[in-house]
Amino acid sequence: MLVTDARDGLGRATALLLADLGECVLACAADLSGMEDMPRETMRGGLIELHRLDLTDPASCDRAIARMHDLYGRIDAIVHTGIATHFGALEELDDATIERVFAVNTFGPLTLMRRAVPVLRAQGTGTFLCVSSAAGRVALPLSAMLSASHHALEGLCDALRLELRPFGVDVVLVETGLVRRGVVAATADRIEQALAGVGEASPYAGVARSLGEVLRELEQTAATPRDVAEVIHRALASPHPRPRYAVTRRTAAWLWARKLLPDRILDGRLAKAMGIKGTSD
């Protein structure tokens, strides 16, 4: 199994868990520093090897796929775990931020999928699994880039799931909410860092403060990278995986609300939860 962004956080937890459960894993990252402790054989016959993978480079993706074949003879699954998170008002975003978020959340997995599809199609089996943010389906204020990039990823996976259905290849989404030490940077105060782009002089400063309070409260009971890794393993171990797996019950509840409630009602509930008032309130 090929696991992307395995240097830390969610990708690292996934690679280690899969190997501990007996899988052969190629743990990939653009920078392999700090991963020296990962290569191993496990008691259950699992194995971890490292490989440098730059998801912005199609040739790098080709080399990672070829390395999987050289080591293990086949590709049972490709697991994309990278998530770039940014909160900020749309009008205040710079081009570099927009490009970075879409590069990680959308174009990176798209590039890898394009290079790997012919291999899995020829095999007649295999799984693409992408970790996505629930914000791709339930948008929060100041989450325009996070939501848009993952909405694109969700659409990509939905289309590819049908495209590859005749060839025995599964496409799966694992949808997370806030992940401790997984979605937002693990250094300094993660919530403040995620909202750092909204200054006190911004007209959206009040919205940012309200969102920050909600995120800090949610973080206390948020899923860990290990929790997400266990859901990933459950999906990969299923002979007939579901198209989507919500990591927590709370995330599942919000995703069901998106399906069942009219948009205005859901908007109202989200705004109320964050103390955001409209001009007509």
Nearest to 247 by CA among 218, 276, 273: 218
Distance CA 220, CA 139 (A): 21
pLDDT for position 62: 96
Residue 212 lies in a domain: yes
**Number of domains present in the structure of the chain:** 1
pLDDT for position 220: 74
Residue 230 lies in a domain: yes
Residue 198 lies in a domain: yes
Residue 280 lies in a domain: no
Residue 190 lies in a domain: yes
pLDDT for position 244: 95
SS3 label, residue 51: strand
pLDDT for position 182: 44
Q: Using DSSP, how many helices (H) and how many strands (E) does the chain show?
A: 10, 8
Nearest to 114 by CA among 58, 159, 173: 58
Question: Which ranges of the chain have pLDDT less than 70?
Answer: 181-197, 278-281
Residue 281 lies in a domain: no
Q: How many CA atoms lie within 13 A of 248 on its CB side?
A: 19
pLDDT for position 279: 59
φ, ψ for residue 208, nearest 5 deg = -65, -40
Which CATH number is 159's domain given?
3.40.50.720
pLDDT for position 269: 86
What's the pLDDT tens digit per position in 158-203? 999 999 999 999 999 999 987 875 444 343 355 555 666 677 778 8
Cα-atom radius of gyration of the chain, to the nearest Å?
19
Residue 81 lies in a domain: yes
- Please name the residues in contact with 63: beta carbons below 8 A apart, sequence gap of 6 or more: 51, 53
Residue-number span of the structural domain to which 143 is assigned: 2-273
Residue 93 lies in a domain: yes
The answer to whether the pTM exceeds 0.95 is: no
- In angstroms, what CA-CA distances link 236 with 37, 79, 117, 133? 25, 9, 17, 19
* CA-based max dimension of the chain: 63
Token pair, residue 262, equals 């009219």
